Structure 1
Amino acid sequence: MTAYPSLHMIINGEKVAGGSRRTHTVVNPATGESLGELPLADAADLDRALEVAAEGFAIWRKSTPQERAAVLQGAARLMVERADDLARIATMEEGKPFAEARIEVMMNVGLFNFYAGECFRLYGRELVRPEGMRSTVRWEPVGPVAAFAPWNFPLGNPGRKLGAPIAAGCSVILKSAEETPASALGVLQCLLDAGLPPQVAQAVFGVPDEVSRHLLASPIIRKLSFTGSTVVGKHLAKLAADNMIRTTMELGGHGPVLVFSDADVDKALATSVGGKYRNCGQVCVSPTRFIVEESVFERFRDGFIEGAKAQVVGNGLDPATTMGPMANARRPEAMDRLIGDAVAKGAKLGTGGERIGNQGFFYAPSVLSEVPLDAAIMHEEPFGPVAIINPYKGEEAMIAEANRLPYGLAAYAWTSDVQRQRRLAAQLEAGMVGINSHMIGGADAPFGGVKWSGHGSEDGPEGVKACMVLKAVHEG
């Protein structure tokens, strides 16, 4: 069994331990017990990280595609070798089932290998000009990147934040979540062990507002990449604006799922139940608001309740577990508040709606139906194991409900009507749309949202280009 590692920051390749620094207690969400003490950066640590990042950019912007690709491919190989250890650490920190954490490792492997190939595809172009003149358009690395990653995908989020800048030729300062530090450190260590110069990538932890204000106030930082809530994203965007720092924002969602009467309801149920309770519902693209045509509403609702009751809730290290605990004490409190408010306003609770056990942060898979529009959960992302299932009359009303909120990250639809599929693809206001599928991501596909769900993309060629700037050069 993998032991939980000692915790530190990484600056210039050095492991920076506690000393006199403040610390944060990392807790196992399955037991509520302490895993370790994480040192938090002070101002001197952040200044040193910025200084090293500037040095790292001067080095890495001159690197060849072959050098960048070799590091990314080498890190991918090391992640395969260390997959079980990385996955167990992620499960200890975040709670998700070991099998889900291992898939997350392999997601990073695929992304790093894709980005390695992308290093050779960062093409510019030459413009047509009269004889004697030459005009070219070049892609160049934007500069040092400040990258802030949340706790819900403790391996995958750091992988996204590190892989794109490194492929583009940038340096990066990673501030991953204090709840899941060892997972992020494990990903970075694979890159360093694969030959990444130590100046190119740093990992710091700290009080989030202190770290973000300090880094974004520095003229060294040229790009901010943030994944998290819309509220925090708006705050960081304002800080970034003072120095005109470019931003990629992957923010909150409230995933609508449209289920039409002509859909394969059994397949929609099997897919949606698994998608809803994956990672205990703590997924930004989690299917949440089920917008079901009236004629199949009761069948879909009752089937979903059966699927929720069939989930095996327990410690993520138990092979029988299909849903682990919530990641921290704040999340069960949020579930109690949102579900309690909905029921008080007339919603029907089909199952769940309560905590499980007297240790850790376990919450029962929950299903609400016929939820009134004035319930808070109809407007606020629950980020937990609760499905909202309501009946609607026809396509127009269903699309209107899907687009009602200011969020636009992921949307899903189930229908066998090909013409309707095309209408939905055009009319749903989301950065990613899944039709008869909940598979909306991939190493080669852009991942991002619209409206309050943010702007810019991670993954795919777009993820690397988000860490680059255009330059037009005209020679007479």
Structure 2
Amino acid sequence: MTTDHGYPAVRMYIAGEWVQGGTGRTAPVVNPATEKPVGDVPLATADDLDRALASSAEGFKVWRATPVARRTEILHAAADLLEERAADIGRISTLEQGKPLRESTGEARRVSGTLRWHADDARRAYGRIIPSEPGTLLSVRREPIGPVAAFVPWNFPAGGPMRKISSALASGCSIVIKASEETPGTAAALVACFVDAGLPAGVINLVFGEPAEVSAHLIGSPVTRLIAFTGSVPVGKLLAGEAGKVMKPSLMELGGHAPVIVCADADPVKAARKAAQAKFANAGQVCTSPSRFLVHESLIEAFTAEFVKAAEAVVVGDGLADGTTMGPLANERRLESVERLTADAVRRGATVRTGGERLDRPGYFFAPTVLTDVPADADLMSEEPFGPLAPIVPFTDLDEALAVANSLPYGLAAYGFTESAATAERLVEGFEAGILSINHCGGSVHEAPSGGFKDSGYGREGGPEALDAYLVTKRVSHLLAG
């Protein structure tokens, strides 16, 4: 069933059934390009959450006992469906999140690769036999940790949930996932692919609701064995603290404020083009988005001129419209935040080279913005903008630039541009970040880990490391009968 907008009638998935919820409570889902509702999202009650948890406990028993070859077969079948439905999923995502349809559809296609990678990597979750005393068999086994409670934000409606779902299911865990109430349709469409692929009831449960209520209920339940969260640093610290009170491990992929260092020997035009393309992707609403541009003083004019040119070439509009290259911000909160950060920077002496204001039209649109002469005490230099703001500041010495880059409590992503292998290695060794890109601003890939240092979280998603949090290591010492 769909609405007049082509948006689906969203339901939760609990205990193998698509349900509205115990009381029928809902919240509107708003298209950020029009500020108009396109549908509703059901909100779970405590009883709904208890049903999801009980179902997850039973689902775990079934799924962990399912041979890995059969689990992989089901997950690959789900990946096939994801590929077939990518265009439909992308449209849903654009309606509720705003990003251009090309970005949304590409994201929907990429998650099938995420799922395939983790499904295949489950076959390589090896234990080992350890040489030991005569008559003793000493081994190490890796087993699924148990039911997982996962929480994901709205900025990547397909990619965020799939990272958690694919890792959990590949490891043999069940999962209760609370997706964002702002982008519920995409999450429901993903779950439908697993259901239609034959995933046993209870292995995955999808809920929505009041975030604080849902998180407290799921974390506090004795059913839950692992907490997996992607989101802001303050919320991540809160959830990690709640998990710690009940001695539950957690996986935290939190925010950042990614520095970009453009060294004296870099090509400023190429660097600006690549950095601008990454900056304005998803309207800057990416936790790894480049957001502080530290440029050698000899290159800053050429870099800034090209960056401004790239910003002014961005076509801002409804993500469903042909030619749009940047959609709206996701909600009024984001719009108010980037307005505040821009005004603060200007008040402290920054110069707006282009943009700097919301667009005069319906929707949460803000112009791609480039600022120079931004002082170190501007809020923009210490607070993650999560929007299309690009502050550019000069430096004279690379050690000075690295000190500025590492001065914040975040350590998620960092970027550097240089033509020198030796300088590149200085950047790699000097950056305090878990995700580094040299001479480009690449995103996450299935085959390699992503994660942060310091306040940006702990644990890794992607690559062989992705399954570590979802598996427990069991040492077995077996004295053989003599």
TM-score, normalised by the number of residues in structure 1: 0.98
For residue 291 of structure 1, give the secondary structure of its aligned residue in structure 2. strand
Q: Distance in 1 between matches of 2:426 and 2:65?
A: 47
- Structure-1 residue corresponding to 2:146: 143
Correspondent of 1:8 among 2, 6, 11: 11
- Contact 2:119 / 2:166 at 8 angstroms: preserved in 1? no
In the alignment, structure 1 segments of 5+ residues that lack a partner are: none
- Say whether residues 1:258 and 2:261 are aligned partners: yes
Q: Which amino acid aligns with 2:221?
A: S
Correspondent of 2:114 among 107, 111, 116: 111
CA shift, 1:23, in A, is 1.3
For residue 137 of structure 1, give the secondary structure of its aligned residue in structure 2. strand
1:315-336 CA-partner distances (Å, limit 9, x unpaired): 0011200000001111110011
CA shift, 1:106, in A, is 1.8
- Structure-2 residue corresponding to 1:17: 20
CA shift, 1:243, in A, is 1.4
Q: Distance in 1 between matches of 2:122 and 2:256?
A: 31
1:84-138 CA-partner distances (Å, limit 9, x unpaired): 1000000001000011111111220111111121121010111111221111011
- Say whether residues 1:293 and 2:296 are aligned partners: yes
CA shift, 1:20, in A, is 3.0
For residue 123 of structure 2, give the secondary structure of its aligned residue in structure 1. coil
Q: Which amino acid aligns with 2:342?
A: I
Q: Which amino acid aligns with 2:152?
A: A
For residue 357 of structure 2, give the secondary structure of its aligned residue in structure 1. coil
Correspondent of 2:229 among 226, 229, 240: 226
- Say whether residues 1:365 and 2:368 are aligned partners: yes
Q: Which amino acid aligns with 1:330?
A: R
For residue 322 of structure 1, give the secondary structure of its aligned residue in structure 2. coil
- Say whether residues 1:322 and 2:311 are aligned partners: no
For residue 466 of structure 1, give the secondary structure of its aligned residue in structure 2. helix
- Contact 1:164 / 1:464 at 8 angstroms: preserved in 2? yes
Correspondent of 2:71 among 57, 68, 72: 68
- Structure-1 residue corresponding to 2:436: 433
CA shift, 1:19, in A, is 6.4
Q: Distance in 1 between matches of 2:290 and 2:456?
A: 15
Q: Distance in 2 between matches of 1:203 and 1:281?
A: 28
- Say whether residues 1:153 and 2:145 are aligned partners: no
Q: Which amino acid aligns with 2:99?
A: K
Q: Distance in 1 between matches of 2:68 and 2:468?
A: 14
- Say whether residues 1:83 and 2:86 are aligned partners: yes
- Contact 1:57 / 1:143 at 8 angstroms: preserved in 2? yes
Q: Distance in 1 between matches of 2:165 and 2:120?
A: 16
- Say whether residues 1:238 and 2:232 are aligned partners: no
**Structure 1 residues 184-195: aligned runs within 5 Å:** 184-195=187-198
Q: Distance in 1 between matches of 2:141 and 2:443?
A: 31
- Structure-1 residue corresponding to 2:40: 37
How many percent identity over aligned positions? 49
TM-score, normalised by the number of residues in structure 2: 0.97
Q: Distance in 2 between matches of 1:240 and 1:157?
A: 21
Q: Distance in 1 between matches of 2:142 and 2:203?
A: 19
CA shift, 1:463, in A, is 1.1
* Pairs aligned (count): 476
CA shift, 1:18, in A, is 5.2
Correspondent of 1:216 among 200, 207, 219: 219
CA shift, 1:62, in A, is 1.1
- Contact 1:2 / 1:88 at 8 angstroms: preserved in 2? no
Q: Distance in 2 between matches of 1:322 and 1:47?
A: 43
- Contact 1:448 / 1:457 at 8 angstroms: preserved in 2? yes
- Say whether residues 1:450 and 2:453 are aligned partners: yes
Q: Distance in 2 between matches of 1:18 and 1:197?
A: 21
Q: Which amino acid aligns with 2:447?
A: D
CA shift, 1:40, in A, is 0.3
For residue 324 of structure 2, give the secondary structure of its aligned residue in structure 1. coil
Q: Which amino acid aligns with 2:220?
A: A
CA shift, 1:80, in A, is 0.9
Deviates more, 1:426-435 or 1:59-68: 59-68
CA shift, 1:242, in A, is 1.6
- Contact 1:97 / 1:322 at 8 angstroms: preserved in 2? yes
1:219-247 CA-partner distances (Å, limit 9, x unpaired): 11010110000000000011101211111
Moved over 6 A (4+): none
For residue 93 of structure 1, give the secondary structure of its aligned residue in structure 2. helix
In the alignment, structure 2 segments of 5+ residues that lack a partner are: none
- Contact 1:18 / 1:38 at 8 angstroms: preserved in 2? no
Q: Distance in 1 between matches of 2:269 and 2:372?
A: 19
- Contact 1:448 / 1:456 at 8 angstroms: preserved in 2? yes
CA shift, 1:22, in A, is 2.1
1:12-56 CA-partner distances (Å, limit 9, x unpaired): 121111563321110000001101121100110011111001001
